[in-house]
Amino acid sequence: MVGPGRKKEAVAYVCRHLPYSERRACKSLGQPRSSKRYEQRRMERDTSFVRSMHRIAARETRAG
């Protein structure tokens, strides 16, 4: 089974090397166009908060 990231790469490859539109390449590879266009956003995490939550979860197993 191939994940969405690999399918996204396959669609880009087909669009680059063959005279296919993005819509046609997505349809032929079974990749939704919305997934092809999706860009993951990196969230800024408060590392000190996350670290303290991990400490509490390790100490208090029922709290985590």
Half-sphere exposure of residue 36: CA atoms within 13 angstroms, side-chain side: 21
- Domain limits, the chain: 1-39
Residue type, 15: C
Q: Which residues contact residue 9 at a Cβ distance below 8 angstroms, ignoring those fewer than 6 apart?
A: none
pLDDT over 70 for what percent of the chain?
Answer: 95
Mean pLDDT over each residue of the chain, to the nearest integer: 86
Q: Which tens digits make up the pLDDT trace of 3-26?
A: 888 989 999 999 999 999 999 999
